[in-house]
Amino acid sequence: MRPPVRKASPQSIGAPGVQAPAAFALPVRVYYQDTDAGGVVFHGGYLSFFERARTEWLRQLGFDVRQLAEHDGVLFIVRELRMNYLRPAQVDDLLTVTAAIENLGRAQFTLDQRVLRGVDLLVQGSVNLACVSVQGLKPARVPPRVYAALGQSAGRKITHEEEA
């Protein structure tokens, strides 16, 4: 059985009206384990792709999630998630999964996350992450050094007053 022919998507990066934010990008290959019986990525599989990209993005910024928990006493948990599925990915596709700051707050931040195949936008998501304490999972402020790195990633200059 041959896979279906893919048509060009009007929702492509670089297409009029579709502006992608500056983002961290992670290449991801689609394996059989990511797909349903038809070789199409299962809708929940995109959540795993998003999680991998967020974790690697934080690592690139200099933060290991395990060390944030052990040394800073904080975790980032998904508080809200919206996804728009535009086109399916299939087994053996090479995808790019992105993460970019959409909104930065003191105890939470929102990421624009996307899955692309080449320049075709397949999935766009908005993921709100809350910073919580390891002990009791109560809301906590994003640690100042993490907040500064997130702000810099978003193109914001963070002042000393904002870090405090």
Q: Is position 92 annotated as part of the catalytic site?
A: no
Place of tokens 């384990």: 33
Active-site hit among 36, 64, 112, 120: 36
SS (H, E, C) 21-85: CCCEEEEEECCHHHECCCCEECCCHHHHHHHHHHHHHHHHCCCCHHHHHHHHCEEEEEEEEEEEE
- Ramachandran quadrant class, 48 (left: phi over 0; alpha: psi -120 to 50; beta: rest): alpha
Q: Which residues are catalytic?
A: 36
